[in-house]
Amino acid sequence: MHDFVVKDGKLETGLDSPESVAFHKDYVEMIKKCAAPSFANDNWYQVVDGINSGRTAMAIDSNMFGFWNNVAGKPASGKIAFAPPLRAPNGKNFESNIWIWSLAMNAASQKKGAAWLFIQWATSKQVELNGAVAGKLVNSPRASTWSDKVWLDYAAKPEFTNFVDTFKIVQDRAALAFTPRAGFAEAMNAWAVAMQKMVNGADVKATLTDLASEIRSSM
């Protein structure tokens, strides 16, 4: 499922499609039954705290949540396991979104040479590996890090249950599922507000229809 599809050569939101409505009904039910009562106000820190303290059984998000809390000496060390996401009912494989933080260079920069050298240094094999080994920055996008013995020996320790295997399986299928477009943040915020309304009892189909028409009007 994608946030936007191309229809007749134009971007179109699929948020009010029957598949989306069915998915959201399931998702809303799952939040109602399983999420923390404070889900509407929870940020990353509360999710990490929930995992760390044992109040939260499962989190679907960044793998570093679990990794950092599995580190030896932490209360939850060795108690958190990793698994790839499940596939959709009619899908052959699971799909996973990847979120990448990037370094960008301004086209108006007067010192592009220096900026380019900095970007090359910051994303170099040595810096990435050092970040993973010394800084526990576990999401290195470089293949060289994931074939380095020092890093793999550390990340494959028993307390990081399934971490390396899961990462490698997900890595093969992960892709940027978001459609790059102006107004991305606005649509994300509107969707988050709609999700909270649906969890609070608003009709799923009607809310998604309103949301889709709001997003269409801003396109």
**β 4-7/174-175 pair status:** unpaired
Q: How many CA atoms lie within 13 A of 198 on its CB side?
A: 26
Distance of alpha carbon 101 from alpha carbon 111, whole angstroms: 22
**What tokens appear for 216 in the block?**
């269409």
CB of 156 to another protein, least distance (A): 34
Number of residues that bind another protein (CB under 8 A): 18
Contact (CB, 8 A) for 98 and 176: yes
Residue 179 interacts with another protein (CB under 8 A)? Answer: no
Any bridge partners for residue 12, and if so which?
Answer: 5
- Restricting to residues 32-91, name those near another protein by CB under 8 A: 36-41, 55
CB of 198 to another protein, least distance (A): 9
Choose which of 59, 64, 119, 202 interacts with another protein (CB under 8 A): 202
Alpha helices of 41-183 — where are they, by DSSP H?
44-53, 64-70, 112-122, 125-135, 149-155, 163-173
Q: In terms of CB distance, is 38 or 126 closer to another protein?
A: 38
CB of 23 to another protein, least distance (A): 19
CB of 68 to another protein, least distance (A): 20
CB of 160 to another protein, least distance (A): 27
**What tokens appear for 33 in the block?**
């039954």
Residue 206 interacts with another protein (CB under 8 A)? Answer: no
The candidate with the shortest Cα–Cα distance to 48, out of 34, 33, 36, is 36
Residue 183 interacts with another protein (CB under 8 A)? Answer: yes
CB of 106 to another protein, least distance (A): 13
Q: In terms of CB distance, is 144 or 189 closer to another protein?
A: 189
Residue 147 interacts with another protein (CB under 8 A)? Answer: no
Q: In terms of CB distance, is 36 or 127 closer to another protein?
A: 36
Contact (CB, 8 A) for 46 and 37: no
Q: Which residues bind another protein (CB under 8 A)?
A: 36-41, 55, 182-183, 185-186, 189, 193, 196-197, 199-200, 202
